[in-house]
Amino acid sequence: MATVVTTVRRSFSTHWYAWAMVLPVVIVLAVLVGYPLGKGIYLSFTDANEANVARTIGVNHIEATYKSVGLDNYWKVLSGQEGHFYSRLGWTVVWTASCVFLHYTIGLGLALLLNRPMRFRALYRVLLILPWAVPAFVATFSWRLMFNEKYGVLNALLTKLGVGSVDWLGDATLQKVSAVAVNVWLGVPFMMVAILGGLQSIPRELHEAAEMDGATPWQRFVHVTLPGLRSVSGTVILLGVIWTFNMFQVIYLLIGQGAGSESEILVTYAYRLAFQGIRDYAGSATYGILILSLLLVFAVFYRRMLSRQEAVR
Protein backbone atom coordinates (compact mmCIF):
# COMPACT_ATOMS: atom_id res chain seq x y z
CA MET A 1 0.00 0.00 0.00
CA ALA A 2 2.70 2.39 1.01
CA THR A 3 4.59 1.70 -2.20
CA VAL A 4 1.52 2.51 -4.23
CA VAL A 5 1.22 5.85 -2.45
CA THR A 6 4.88 6.62 -3.08
CA THR A 7 4.56 5.63 -6.72
CA VAL A 8 1.57 7.88 -7.14
CA ARG A 9 3.29 10.71 -5.33
CA ARG A 10 6.48 10.35 -7.33
CA SER A 11 4.50 10.08 -10.54
CA PHE A 12 2.62 13.23 -9.57
CA SER A 13 5.72 15.21 -8.79
CA THR A 14 7.39 14.28 -12.08
CA HIS A 15 4.34 14.67 -14.24
CA TRP A 16 2.26 17.39 -12.63
CA TYR A 17 3.14 20.06 -15.15
CA ALA A 18 2.34 17.77 -18.07
CA TRP A 19 -1.01 17.08 -16.51
CA ALA A 20 -1.56 20.75 -15.80
CA MET A 21 -0.97 21.54 -19.45
CA VAL A 22 -3.40 18.98 -20.78
CA LEU A 23 -5.98 19.76 -18.12
CA PRO A 24 -7.87 22.45 -20.07
CA VAL A 25 -8.28 20.17 -23.06
CA VAL A 26 -9.32 17.29 -20.88
CA ILE A 27 -11.93 19.48 -19.19
CA VAL A 28 -13.29 20.77 -22.49
CA LEU A 29 -13.44 17.30 -23.98
CA ALA A 30 -14.97 15.85 -20.83
CA VAL A 31 -17.66 18.50 -20.55
CA LEU A 32 -18.45 18.96 -24.23
CA VAL A 33 -17.75 15.53 -25.65
CA GLY A 34 -17.57 13.04 -22.79
CA TYR A 35 -20.64 14.15 -20.95
CA PRO A 36 -22.82 14.57 -24.05
CA LEU A 37 -21.63 11.18 -25.25
CA GLY A 38 -22.61 9.62 -21.94
CA LYS A 39 -25.93 11.38 -22.08
CA GLY A 40 -26.41 10.28 -25.67
CA ILE A 41 -25.76 6.68 -24.76
CA TYR A 42 -28.20 7.06 -21.89
CA LEU A 43 -30.86 8.63 -24.12
CA SER A 44 -30.51 5.80 -26.60
CA PHE A 45 -31.76 3.43 -23.91
CA THR A 46 -34.87 5.52 -23.25
CA ASP A 47 -37.92 6.65 -25.14
CA ALA A 48 -37.12 10.35 -24.85
CA ASN A 49 -38.80 12.68 -27.30
CA GLU A 50 -39.96 16.24 -27.45
CA ALA A 51 -43.08 15.53 -25.40
CA ASN A 52 -41.47 13.96 -22.36
CA VAL A 53 -38.09 15.59 -21.73
CA ALA A 54 -37.64 18.17 -19.01
CA ARG A 55 -38.45 21.63 -20.28
CA THR A 56 -39.43 25.05 -19.12
CA ILE A 57 -42.45 26.77 -20.55
CA GLY A 58 -42.70 30.30 -19.24
CA VAL A 59 -42.27 29.96 -15.50
CA ASN A 60 -43.42 26.37 -15.29
CA HIS A 61 -40.75 23.73 -15.16
CA ILE A 62 -41.92 20.34 -16.35
CA GLU A 63 -40.00 17.32 -15.12
CA ALA A 64 -38.79 14.69 -17.53
CA THR A 65 -41.11 11.71 -17.79
CA TYR A 66 -39.28 9.49 -20.25
CA LYS A 67 -38.34 6.03 -19.06
CA SER A 68 -35.85 3.37 -19.82
CA VAL A 69 -36.68 0.92 -22.57
CA GLY A 70 -33.49 -1.11 -22.44
CA LEU A 71 -32.10 -2.18 -25.77
CA ASP A 72 -35.41 -1.65 -27.54
CA ASN A 73 -34.21 1.21 -29.72
CA TYR A 74 -31.22 -0.72 -30.95
CA TRP A 75 -33.33 -3.82 -31.55
CA LYS A 76 -35.85 -1.83 -33.57
CA VAL A 77 -33.17 -0.26 -35.72
CA LEU A 78 -30.95 -3.29 -36.20
CA SER A 79 -33.74 -5.80 -36.80
CA GLY A 80 -35.08 -3.57 -39.54
CA GLN A 81 -38.44 -2.85 -37.84
CA GLU A 82 -37.79 0.86 -37.83
CA GLY A 83 -37.51 0.63 -41.57
CA HIS A 84 -34.68 2.34 -43.26
CA PHE A 85 -31.50 1.60 -41.41
CA TYR A 86 -30.00 -0.94 -43.80
CA SER A 87 -30.90 0.87 -46.99
CA ARG A 88 -29.46 4.10 -45.56
CA LEU A 89 -26.39 2.30 -44.31
CA GLY A 90 -25.90 0.82 -47.76
CA TRP A 91 -26.15 4.21 -49.42
CA THR A 92 -23.88 5.77 -46.80
CA VAL A 93 -21.23 3.14 -47.48
CA VAL A 94 -21.56 3.62 -51.25
CA TRP A 95 -21.41 7.38 -50.76
CA THR A 96 -18.30 7.18 -48.58
CA ALA A 97 -16.52 4.66 -50.76
CA SER A 98 -17.20 6.44 -54.04
CA CYS A 99 -16.36 9.88 -52.65
CA VAL A 100 -13.12 8.80 -51.01
CA PHE A 101 -12.10 6.71 -54.01
CA LEU A 102 -12.65 9.63 -56.37
CA HIS A 103 -11.02 12.09 -53.95
CA TYR A 104 -7.97 9.94 -53.70
CA THR A 105 -7.52 8.93 -57.32
CA ILE A 106 -8.19 12.39 -58.74
CA GLY A 107 -6.07 13.95 -56.02
CA LEU A 108 -3.24 11.55 -56.73
CA GLY A 109 -3.50 12.15 -60.47
CA LEU A 110 -3.39 15.92 -60.11
CA ALA A 111 -0.58 15.75 -57.58
CA LEU A 112 1.49 13.63 -59.97
CA LEU A 113 0.85 16.15 -62.74
CA LEU A 114 1.81 19.05 -60.53
CA ASN A 115 4.89 17.42 -59.04
CA ARG A 116 7.28 18.44 -61.78
CA PRO A 117 8.89 21.62 -62.94
CA MET A 118 6.81 23.40 -65.57
CA ARG A 119 5.43 26.74 -66.53
CA PHE A 120 2.42 28.14 -64.59
CA ARG A 121 2.86 25.55 -61.86
CA ALA A 122 2.05 27.99 -59.05
CA LEU A 123 -0.98 29.26 -60.95
CA TYR A 124 -2.40 25.75 -61.50
CA ARG A 125 -1.84 24.98 -57.87
CA VAL A 126 -3.80 28.00 -56.69
CA LEU A 127 -6.64 27.37 -59.13
CA LEU A 128 -6.90 23.72 -58.19
CA ILE A 129 -6.94 24.51 -54.48
CA LEU A 130 -9.70 27.07 -54.87
CA PRO A 131 -12.63 24.76 -53.99
CA TRP A 132 -11.06 24.11 -50.62
CA ALA A 133 -11.12 27.82 -49.85
CA VAL A 134 -14.86 28.11 -50.39
CA PRO A 135 -16.90 27.30 -47.26
CA ALA A 136 -18.77 24.04 -47.85
CA PHE A 137 -22.22 25.54 -47.34
CA VAL A 138 -21.54 28.31 -49.84
CA ALA A 139 -20.27 25.82 -52.40
CA THR A 140 -23.26 23.58 -51.87
CA PHE A 141 -25.71 26.41 -52.46
CA SER A 142 -23.82 27.41 -55.58
CA TRP A 143 -24.03 23.91 -56.96
CA ARG A 144 -27.70 23.79 -56.11
CA LEU A 145 -28.19 26.83 -58.28
CA MET A 146 -26.19 25.29 -61.10
CA PHE A 147 -28.18 22.06 -60.83
CA ASN A 148 -31.50 23.93 -60.86
CA GLU A 149 -33.81 22.11 -63.25
CA LYS A 150 -35.42 25.10 -64.91
CA TYR A 151 -32.81 27.85 -64.63
CA GLY A 152 -29.58 26.02 -63.88
CA VAL A 153 -26.56 26.61 -66.05
CA LEU A 154 -25.89 22.89 -66.52
CA ASN A 155 -29.29 22.34 -68.06
CA ALA A 156 -28.94 25.47 -70.15
CA LEU A 157 -25.73 24.07 -71.59
CA LEU A 158 -27.24 20.64 -72.12
CA THR A 159 -30.20 22.18 -73.94
CA LYS A 160 -27.84 24.07 -76.19
CA LEU A 161 -26.10 20.82 -76.97
CA GLY A 162 -29.48 19.37 -77.82
CA VAL A 163 -29.58 16.83 -74.99
CA GLY A 164 -32.51 18.36 -73.16
CA SER A 165 -32.73 19.22 -69.50
CA VAL A 166 -32.16 16.79 -66.69
CA ASP A 167 -33.78 16.86 -63.26
CA TRP A 168 -30.51 16.79 -61.35
CA LEU A 169 -31.87 17.15 -57.84
CA GLY A 170 -35.31 15.59 -58.25
CA ASP A 171 -34.56 12.16 -59.65
CA ALA A 172 -33.56 9.66 -56.97
CA THR A 173 -30.45 8.36 -58.72
CA LEU A 174 -29.26 11.63 -60.20
CA GLN A 175 -29.65 13.24 -56.78
CA LYS A 176 -27.04 10.86 -55.47
CA VAL A 177 -24.74 11.39 -58.43
CA SER A 178 -25.04 15.15 -57.97
CA ALA A 179 -24.26 14.91 -54.27
CA VAL A 180 -21.17 12.81 -54.97
CA ALA A 181 -20.07 15.27 -57.65
CA VAL A 182 -20.36 18.23 -55.28
CA ASN A 183 -18.51 16.44 -52.52
CA VAL A 184 -15.76 15.31 -54.87
CA TRP A 185 -15.38 18.86 -56.09
CA LEU A 186 -15.05 20.03 -52.50
CA GLY A 187 -12.70 17.30 -51.31
CA VAL A 188 -10.16 16.80 -54.08
CA PRO A 189 -7.95 19.81 -53.22
CA PHE A 190 -7.25 18.52 -49.73
CA MET A 191 -6.14 15.15 -51.05
CA MET A 192 -4.14 16.74 -53.81
CA VAL A 193 -2.18 19.00 -51.50
CA ALA A 194 -1.61 16.26 -48.95
CA ILE A 195 -0.35 13.85 -51.61
CA LEU A 196 1.78 16.55 -53.17
CA GLY A 197 3.45 17.01 -49.78
CA GLY A 198 4.01 13.27 -49.65
CA LEU A 199 5.46 13.17 -53.15
CA GLN A 200 7.92 15.89 -52.36
CA SER A 201 9.15 14.03 -49.30
CA ILE A 202 10.20 11.01 -51.43
CA PRO A 203 13.98 11.32 -51.92
CA ARG A 204 14.97 12.03 -55.52
CA GLU A 205 17.75 9.49 -55.24
CA LEU A 206 15.22 6.65 -55.09
CA HIS A 207 13.75 7.67 -58.43
CA GLU A 208 17.17 8.16 -59.93
CA ALA A 209 18.39 4.79 -58.71
CA ALA A 210 15.30 3.08 -60.14
CA GLU A 211 15.87 4.87 -63.42
CA MET A 212 19.48 3.77 -63.54
CA ASP A 213 18.30 0.19 -63.04
CA GLY A 214 16.08 0.59 -66.08
CA ALA A 215 12.67 0.81 -64.41
CA THR A 216 9.87 2.09 -66.66
CA PRO A 217 7.85 5.08 -65.45
CA TRP A 218 5.02 2.74 -64.47
CA GLN A 219 7.38 0.51 -62.48
CA ARG A 220 8.77 3.55 -60.76
CA PHE A 221 5.26 4.69 -59.90
CA VAL A 222 4.30 1.31 -58.44
CA HIS A 223 7.55 0.50 -56.65
CA VAL A 224 8.86 3.90 -55.62
CA THR A 225 6.06 6.46 -55.57
CA LEU A 226 3.22 4.44 -54.07
CA PRO A 227 5.27 2.92 -51.21
CA GLY A 228 6.71 6.36 -50.51
CA LEU A 229 3.19 7.72 -50.17
CA ARG A 230 2.02 5.01 -47.82
CA SER A 231 2.03 6.92 -44.55
CA VAL A 232 0.43 10.03 -46.02
CA SER A 233 -2.17 7.96 -47.82
CA GLY A 234 -2.97 6.05 -44.66
CA THR A 235 -3.71 9.24 -42.77
CA VAL A 236 -5.65 11.07 -45.46
CA ILE A 237 -7.79 8.08 -46.37
CA LEU A 238 -8.70 7.50 -42.74
CA LEU A 239 -9.57 11.18 -42.29
CA GLY A 240 -11.39 11.21 -45.60
CA VAL A 241 -13.56 8.27 -44.66
CA ILE A 242 -14.41 9.81 -41.29
CA TRP A 243 -15.22 13.20 -42.76
CA THR A 244 -17.23 11.85 -45.67
CA PHE A 245 -19.18 9.41 -43.55
CA ASN A 246 -20.21 12.34 -41.38
CA MET A 247 -20.56 14.85 -44.21
CA PHE A 248 -23.66 16.68 -43.16
CA GLN A 249 -23.73 19.91 -45.09
CA VAL A 250 -23.59 18.67 -48.65
CA ILE A 251 -26.47 16.23 -48.33
CA TYR A 252 -28.57 18.41 -46.05
CA LEU A 253 -28.25 21.61 -48.02
CA LEU A 254 -28.13 20.15 -51.53
CA ILE A 255 -30.97 17.71 -51.44
CA GLY A 256 -32.82 19.77 -48.95
CA GLN A 257 -34.88 18.90 -45.98
CA GLY A 258 -37.52 17.09 -48.00
CA ALA A 259 -39.07 14.38 -45.85
CA GLY A 260 -38.32 10.75 -46.57
CA SER A 261 -35.61 11.49 -49.07
CA GLU A 262 -33.89 8.36 -50.31
CA SER A 263 -30.56 10.09 -50.62
CA GLU A 264 -30.11 10.82 -46.96
CA ILE A 265 -27.07 9.37 -45.26
CA LEU A 266 -27.16 8.19 -41.66
CA VAL A 267 -25.97 11.48 -40.20
CA THR A 268 -28.56 13.65 -41.89
CA TYR A 269 -31.27 11.16 -41.01
CA ALA A 270 -30.26 11.23 -37.35
CA TYR A 271 -30.33 15.01 -37.47
CA ARG A 272 -33.79 15.00 -38.99
CA LEU A 273 -35.04 12.59 -36.35
CA ALA A 274 -33.86 14.95 -33.64
CA PHE A 275 -35.10 18.24 -35.04
CA GLN A 276 -38.01 17.72 -37.40
CA GLY A 277 -41.57 16.75 -36.72
CA ILE A 278 -41.97 15.19 -33.28
CA ARG A 279 -38.43 15.38 -32.03
CA ASP A 280 -37.30 11.82 -31.44
CA TYR A 281 -34.25 12.35 -29.23
CA ALA A 282 -33.87 8.68 -28.35
CA GLY A 283 -33.99 7.50 -31.95
CA SER A 284 -31.51 10.12 -33.01
CA ALA A 285 -29.14 9.20 -30.18
CA THR A 286 -29.40 5.54 -31.18
CA TYR A 287 -28.41 6.37 -34.73
CA GLY A 288 -25.56 8.55 -33.49
CA ILE A 289 -24.15 5.78 -31.32
CA LEU A 290 -24.43 3.31 -34.19
CA ILE A 291 -22.57 5.67 -36.54
CA LEU A 292 -19.84 6.17 -33.97
CA SER A 293 -19.47 2.43 -33.38
CA LEU A 294 -19.20 1.77 -37.10
CA LEU A 295 -16.48 4.37 -37.50
CA LEU A 296 -14.58 3.12 -34.47
CA VAL A 297 -14.61 -0.44 -35.73
CA PHE A 298 -13.46 0.77 -39.12
CA ALA A 299 -10.64 2.87 -37.66
CA VAL A 300 -9.34 0.04 -35.51
CA PHE A 301 -9.33 -2.44 -38.38
CA TYR A 302 -7.85 0.09 -40.74
CA ARG A 303 -4.96 0.95 -38.46
CA ARG A 304 -4.33 -2.71 -37.79
CA MET A 305 -4.28 -3.40 -41.50
CA LEU A 306 -1.79 -0.58 -42.07
CA SER A 307 0.54 -1.76 -39.36
CA ARG A 308 0.35 -5.31 -40.69
CA GLN A 309 1.35 -4.07 -44.14
CA GLU A 310 4.16 -2.19 -42.49
CA ALA A 311 5.31 -5.37 -40.74
CA VAL A 312 5.24 -7.41 -43.94
CA ARG A 313 7.56 -5.03 -45.72
Footprint on residues 152-211 left by another protein (CB under 8 A): 152-153, 156-157, 160, 185, 188-190, 193-194, 197-198, 207, 211
Which C-beta is closer to another protein: that of 123 or that of 172? 123
DSSP sequence for the chain: -HHHHHHHHHHHHHHHHHHHHHHHHHHHHIIIIIHHHHHHHHHHTB---TTTS-EEETTEEEPP---B-TTHHHHHHHTTTTSSHHHHHHHHHHHHHHHHHHHHHHHHHHHHHHSS--TTHHHHHHHHHHHHHS-HHHHHHHHHHHH-TTT-HHHHHHHHTTS----TTTSHHHHHHHHHHHHHHHHHHHHHHHHHHHHHTS-HHHHHHHHHTT--HHHHIIIIIHHHTHHHHHHHHHHHHHHHHT--HHHHHHT-S-TT-TT--HHHHHHHHHHSSS--HHHHHHHHHHHHHHHHHHHHHHHHHHHHHHHH-
244 lines the binding site for another protein (CB under 8 A):
no
Least CB distance from residue 171 to another protein, whole Å?
A: 19
Window of 25-33, 81-89, 96-104, 162-170 that interacts with another protein by CB under 8 A: 25-33
Please identify which residue in 99, 100, 108, 110 interacts with another protein, judged by CB under 8 A.
110
> Closest distance between another protein and the C-beta of residue 190, in Å?
8
Of residues 253, 255, 263, 264, which one binds another protein by CB under 8 A? 253
List 202, 261, 292, 302, residue binding another protein (CB under 8 A): 292
Selected from 130, 161, 172, 259, the binder of another protein by CB under 8 A is 130
* Interface region with another protein, contact rule CB under 8 A, candidates 81-89, 96-104, 150-158, 168-176: 150-158
CB of 58 to another protein, least distance (A): 14
The site string for another protein over 40-79 (x = CB under 8 A, - otherwise) reads x--x---------x-x------------------------
Q: How far is the CB of 267 from another protein (least distance, A)?
A: 5
Residue 129 CA: distances (Å) to CA of 110, 113, 134, 164, 223: 11, 14, 10, 32, 28
Closest Cα partner for 241 from 265, 258, 221?
Answer: 265
The answer to whether 296 contacts another protein (rule: CB under 8 A) is: yes
Q: Which of residues 264-283 bind another protein (CB under 8 A)?
A: 266-267, 270-271, 274-275, 281
The answer to the question of residue 96 lying near another protein (CB under 8 A) is no
Count the site residues for another protein by CB under 8 A: 102
Stretch that binds another protein, among 83-91, 93-101, 142-150, 163-171 (CB under 8 A): 142-150
- Closer residue to another protein, CB minimum distance, 152 or 255: 152
